[in-house]
Amino acid sequence: MPKKIRILSLDGGGIRGIISCVILKYIEEQLQKLDHPDAKLGDYFDLVAGSSTGGILAALVLYPDNSKRSKFSVETALDLYAKKGDTIFNVSFWNQVLNPFGLFNEKISQKSLEKQLSEVFGTLELKDLVKPCLITSYDINSRKAKFFCSHEADSPLENFYVKDVCRATSAAPTYFEPAKIKSLYQQEFTLIDGGVYANNPALCAYAEARKIAFSKELNDPEKIDYPSVNDMIIISIGTGQVLKPYSFKEFENAGKIKWISPLIDILLTANAETVDYLLTKMYETLGPRNQKNYYRIMPDLKNASPEMDDTTRKNIFELIQAGLLYVDENRESLDEIAKKLVKHK
């Protein structure tokens, strides 16, 4: 029987990506029990997609070791977020005074982020990631979506340094400046966070998978080329449910400035919900058996802050606890995912 194509999709959400790491860490631990004690998550997916913080996670799990397998465990990614998050999202005292709430320029300096990305990824190129990936960004100059795909990066026109890809996908408006980066062909792009159109990139991942000859890309004749929805297992992981209510009275005479933060919150949440709705309906057409091959994991934030840049020790603790609670309450489903990933390895 042909092996299904296993797709991992990772939402954006800034420091809330810690929740995704906690859940992925549990899945990786089950893979180690079921298949190999040194199993790495990246070796059990055929395509990994990510937006913003999810794009950085995608690059981390697909980082190659000397044998062209995944180098980093999920715990490594979790350590990066938990230990360096306060550095990446640091806002100086004077910047808070001179630039309250990011109204006059970007809320956070990009220098810390760029330094950390450079330290982690160095001169690693997109084409060298161990599996096909799709990392989202948006070109504000040409006004169109920009997808970074490792399986299309053999040409210098489509190849980039991974540190630049991560800088582009995480350039969230009002948080970081746009990323001005160049391909290895020296073509310049001005890019912002892919979350502006695909904070949940699962549907983009599905569309990309449809055009990939996986048997060739993965050097595995048992993998299906140009798969249909019936041939895919999609695991889509969110960074915490944000459902803050907004009343009519609060916004009946609101101007542009008052709408900025709520509008960003609403657009990101609605985007993710719409993608989940569409994929759920697509898988429902397959019947009771195969519709179970789509998993949308969206934990409750519980006591954690919905803010993408809250890197206080208390909030990082609460994000970890929110992820652990989801794991505790959904072990059966997560164990099922791990078994399917091994079965179709």
% of the chain at pLDDT higher than 70: 91
- pLDDT for residue 92: 42
Residue 62, domain CATH: 3.40.1090.10
- Specify if 123 maps to a domain: yes
- Give me the amino acid identity at 243: L
- Specify if 34 maps to a domain: yes
- Specify if 97 maps to a domain: no
Average pLDDT over residues 267-295: 90
CB atoms within 10 A of CB 241: 15
- The rounded distance, in Å, linking the Cα atoms of 259 and 265 is 10
β-strands 144-148, 133-139 pairing: antiparallel
Average pLDDT over residues 101-113: 51
Reported confidence tier of residue 84, pLDDT bands at 50, 70, 90: low
Q: Is 109 designated active site?
A: no
User: Which single residue is written with the structure tokens 């542009």?
Assistant: 256
**Non-local CB neighbours of 43 within 8 Å, separated by 6+ positions:** 69, 70, 130, 345
- Specify if 100 maps to a domain: no
Q: Is 193 designated active site?
A: yes
Domain that holds residue 238: 5-91+106-344
Query: What mean pLDDT value characterizes the chain?
Result: 88
- Specify if 101 maps to a domain: no
* Greater pLDDT, 39 or 172: 39
Taking Cα atoms as reference points, which of 82, 85, 93, 112 lies closest to residue 309?
85
* DSSP 3-state percent helix, strand, coil across the chain (nearest 5): 50, 15, 35
Condensed to tens digits (0 to 9), the pLDDT of residues 310-323 reads 878 898 889 999 99
Range with lowest mean pLDDT among 6-20, 224-238, 309-323, 326-340? 309-323
- Specify if 96 maps to a domain: no
- Give me the amino acid identity at 207: A
**Non-local CB neighbours of 30 within 8 Å, separated by 6+ positions:** 334, 335, 338, 339
First-to-final CA distance of the chain: 12
Catalytic residue among 11, 46, 164, 193: 193
Q: What is the pTM for the complete model shown?
A: 0.90
Average pLDDT over residues 23-34: 97
Tally of domains within the chain:
1
